[in-house]
Amino acid sequence: MSKPRFEDFFELFGLPRAFRIDDGVLAARYRELAAQVHPDRFAHLGEADRRAAVSYASDVNEAYRTLGSTLARAQYLLHLAGQDAALESNTAMDTSFLMEQMEWREAVSEARAAQDVDELDHLRLRLHDRMDLGLDQLGDEIDDQRDYAAAADSVRRLMFLDKLGREIDAALEQLDT
Amino acid sequence: MALLQIAEPGMSTAPHQHRLAVGIDLGTTNSLVATVRNGVPVVLLDEQGRALLPSVVRYAADGKIEVGQTAQAVQARDARNTIVSVKRFMGRGLRDVAHVETMPYDFVASDGMVRLRTVQGVKSPVEISAEILKVLKSRAEASLGGEMAGVVITVPAYFDDAQRQATKDAATLAGLNVYRLLNEPTAAAIAYGLDNAAEGVYAVYDLGGGTFDFSILRLSRGVFEVLATSGDAQLGGDDFDQRVYCWMLDHARISLPSLEDSRRMLAKAREIKESLTYRDEANMLLQLTNRDRIDLMLTREELAGMTRHLVAKTMQPVKKALRDASLKREDVKGVVMVGGATRMPHVQHAVAEFFGMEPLNNLDPDKVVALGAAIQANVLAGNRKTDEDWLLLDVIPLSLGLETMGGLVERVIPRNSTIPAARAQEFTTYKDGQTAMSFHVVQGERELVSDCRSLARFELRGIPPMVAGAARIRVTFQVDADGLLAVSAREQSSGVEAKIEVKPSYGLGQDEIARMLRDGFDHASDDLQARALSEQRVEAGRLIDATEVALAADGDLLSDAERAAVDATVSRLRDLAQGADHCAIKAGVEELNRATTEFAARRMDKSVRQALAGRSVDSLKV
Ligand SMILES: Nc1ncnc2c1ncn2[C@@H]1O[C@H](COP(=O)(O)OP(=O)(O)OP(=O)(O)O)[C@@H](O)[C@H]1O
Ligand SMILES: [Mg+2]
């Protein structure tokens, strides 16, 4: 199966390879591309066209998902720079962050045990604020300082916070039922 | 709604050919077929002028198959052979189906999909649904006066892979060319959105006879984008009937009604439930076969009370979808009500209370899904005018993953991903010299494999012996625009490949479908040949036309040699289509598909580059 002949997702969307991108432009480009390649445009054609559309549209969707999420975008940029954030680096997480992790975990499990929906909602908001701070820093590290090792470290922290966010969501979901 | 402009005005979409296309709402209780006529979506009626076809199929002792009102009329008398709400069995095992104990059918014990023993033999839900589709197909052909090019069939958004595949198989059995399986709430949103020029975030609350769906969409400038979908594939008006039925048993002190009585009581329960939508109280009078009489009074308030938990149950998916879409209830501009069961006042109240506004009821909740499907079918057939263009971005309702060590699930494609979607994951061998690796594909949100639905198991064999951890096995999940999954696995260094269409554990095999198709033509095998020949000729003609249009527009993307090869394949197929050998035509079609694979990809590339360059593209508008 033939794949799109584009260097990377940024080129596909005609965007500069950077962490700070214009969300509005990204969304608009996505719509233009999706409109061109969506399988709905090819449903009445032959199998070759239908298959090509499914394959191409899947890639466009994956590209949008990746660039549309700040954390996935950062990981992708690091991957392009040859720095894989998923792998543990040799710089161990500093103790202050380990402490912070423990505090978060404790707060979440207490709220969960107490079935305290308001507290969980509150933690969710706080967590998002905390992540916004981290994302600002990530923008500096990737776009300005080009310090990919530091950025990889930041990404790992954010991944922890992101995972915690999903745990809060799951707890809230359970309390709904 | 401002429409998406993807071609310069004045550009034609030649060759202009109007293809007959319909949308089918294959409902638990009622089914409908609709089409776009002179630009207006309309529901097609039967000879008696009726729009709704009750989804009831009767296998009569004399070999006849009755569908719809006639079957419904005798359902109590011949309960065992008269199947209602067959949709609840699609892609489901016996263990998955609620209330089996009160159902009058003769279930066949088996591992896979539920099967029913009837006077005409054992039937699968796929075959039973195909009977409903056949009736709608002939209704459509009679009223449109021609052969249908393709159909869009709607499915509950919350249907999983097995249920979707079963629906598609039923269409194949009925001889329909399926352009697309479309999610019911999405179909409703299309009909509503286009009709009302809606812009903003809307939700669709669809409570039908057997299923509940809740979807949130963003409608903006000609794009329908599903943000999240959720639901319960086993919750609908039927469950309300069941509650009333139990109440009747209780109050009339009946312990073990006969099959026939039980059916009649259920029918009565439904009638009373529906009438309480318009009245404060209703009397139920029913003479049973054993001379017992039921004479009871039920009030609307009592009905609301005994089914309150069912209404509350719909609110869980509502909350989940909002959270998945990262939205608050205030962000929703309107809630479109779909499905007959949303007529109940206490359902209306619950939705109004939750969202703090009156829900939208300005479209007929029975018809809106079929109308949306018809609009989509018209687009997929290539009949739209360029200035009427819009784009639909839908999602998968449930996460897809693989079993890993310890019975845990590794999520590969999360729920609410926009489709089509493809995602790959790498695995490695864990033993030295390991030459095979097995995979277990599951669908669902839980961490443990045992809590998810098993979709399929498959094995990659022939991995060259290597030390543990050296092999690089890439497993690719591809979900198409119907929401159906295909999985393939490939060892990267050796190129050994295994591909499976996910034929779900609760599905039918390809050969089983082929057998059923043959059986359908039992008495006239000439018919089968004739049908196959005509289908293949249509397919060949369609493909040749499409290829020539593409060559005319983008022939420059091929070298002279490549062009000559495609031309030769086209003319070979043209010759074959003159002949009477449907197998040869089929092979010719496949050959042309292969021969144009690269060409199709290059055209796709070109259109993307042109879109990026800010130019509109007319070359794809064949
Ligand atoms: N006036 C009414 N009051 C209450 N319930 C009603 C009323 N009219 C129809 N219903 C119920 O609506 C249900 C059928 O709705 P609908 O035709 O939308 O379902 P369907 O499309 O066949 O099912 P599904 O979408 O779940 O596959 C039945 O349970 C029926 O009793
Ligand atoms: Mg319905």
A151, A102: one domain: yes
d(CA B117, CA B173): 19
Q: Provide the pLDDT for residue B305.
A: 96
Greatest pairwise CA separation for chain B in angstroms = 85
Asked if residue A111 and residue A62 are part of one domain, the reply reads no
Residues A171 and A103 in one domain: yes
* Mean per-residue pLDDT, B160-179: 93
* B220 beta partners: B223
Q: How many C-alpha atoms does B413 have within 13 Å on its Cβ side?
A: 31
Ligand 1 proximity of B23 Cβ (cutoff 6 Å): no
Q: Is the CB of B231 under 6 A from ligand 1?
A: no
- Residue A8 forms contact with B (CB below 8 Å): no
pLDDT band at B157 (very low <50, low <70, confident <90, very high): very high
pLDDT in tens, A45-63: 888 889 999 999 999 999 9
Question: Is A2 domain-assigned?
Answer: no
Structure tokens at A175: 């309390």
Is a pLDDT exceeding 90 seen at residue B242? yes
Confidence band, pLDDT 50/70/90 cuts, at residue B616:
very low
Find residue B408's DSSP bridge partners.
B404, B448
User: Is residue B418 over pLDDT 90?
Assistant: yes
In a domain, A111, yes or no: yes
Buried b (16+ CB within 10 A) or exposed e, A127-136: beebbeebbe
Three-state DSSP state, B372: helix
Segment B424-434 shows an average pLDDT of 88
Assess whether pLDDT exceeds 50 at residue A14: yes
DSSP B11: -
**Is there a domain that residue A48 lies in?**
yes
Q: Is residue A80 part of a domain?
A: no
- B179 at the A interface (CB within 8 A)? yes
Helix (H, G, I), strand (E, B) or coil at B430: coil
* H helix count then E strand count, chain A: 7, 0
CATH number, position A34: 1.10.287.110
Residue found under tokens 């079957």: B71
User: β-pairing, B391-393 with B223-232?
Assistant: parallel
Window 463-502 of B: residues touching A by CB (8 A cutoff) are: 478-481
Q: Which residues of A touch B421 (CB under 8 A)?
A: 58, 61-62
- Collect all residues of chain A within an 8 Å Cβ-Cβ radius of residue B418: 61, 64-65
Least confident segment among B254-258, B392-396, B497-501, B604-608: B497-501
Label residue B46 by pLDDT band (50, 70, 90).
Answer: very high
Whether the bond between B317 and the residue before it is cis, its omega within 30 degrees of 0, is no
Distance CA B369, CA B187 (A): 5
Angular region, B291: left φ>0, alpha ψ -120 to 50, beta rest: left
- Which pLDDT value is given to residue A175? 80
SS3 B146: coil
The pair of three-digit structure tokens given for residue B212, joined into one six-digit string:
């509940």
pLDDT digits (tens, 9 = 90+) for B75-116: 888 999 999 999 999 999 888 887 787 788 999 977 788 999
Sign of the CA dihedral running A3, A6, A11, A17: positive
pLDDT tens digits along A17-46: 999 999 999 998 999 889 889 999 888 888
| pLDDT tens per residue across span B306-332 | 999 999 999 999 999 998 898 999 999
Nearest ligand 1 atom, CA B236: 26
ipTM of the complex in this document: 0.87
User: Is A103 in the same domain as A152?
Assistant: yes
Does residue A130 register a pLDDT over 80? yes
In a domain, A44, yes or no: yes
Q: Please return the burial class of B491, using the count of CB atoms within 10 Å of its CB with bins 0-12, 13-18 and 19+.
A: buried
Q: How many CB atoms sit inside 10 A of residue B122's CB?
A: 12
Contact A56 B608 (CB under 8 A): yes
pTM: 0.88
Nearest CA owner, ligand 1 atom 12: B340
Domain that holds residue A45: 9-68
Confidence band (pLDDT; 50, 70, 90) for B124? very high
The mean pLDDT value of chain B amounts to: 87
DSSP string over B54-77: E-EEEE-TTS-EEETHHHHHTTTT
B contacts of A177 (beta carbons < 8 Å): 316
pLDDT of B36 strictly over 80? yes
For residue B195, is pLDDT > 90? no
pLDDT for B620 beyond 70: no
> Distance between terminal CA atoms of chain B?
25
Residue A85 in any domain: the answer is no
- List active site positions of B: 25, 87, 184, 206
The secondary structure of B22-63 as a DSSP string is EEEEE-SSEEEEEEEETTEEEEPP-TTS---EE-EEEE-TTS
Residue B149 has pLDDT above 80, yes or no: yes
CB B193 within 8 A of CB B1: yes
CB contact under 8 A, A31 and B223: yes
| CATH code: domain of residue A118 | 1.20.1280.20
Q: What is the pLDDT averaged over residues B182-199?
A: 90
- Range with lowest mean pLDDT among A51-55, B242-246, B446-450: B446-450
Domain membership of residue A21 (yes or no) is yes
**pLDDT of amino acid A177:** 66
Total domains, chain A: 2
Q: Is residue A54 domain-shared with residue A109, that is, in the same domain?
A: no
Q: How far is the CA of B514 from the centre of ligand 2 (A)?
A: 29
Is the pLDDT at B469 greater than 70? The verdict is yes
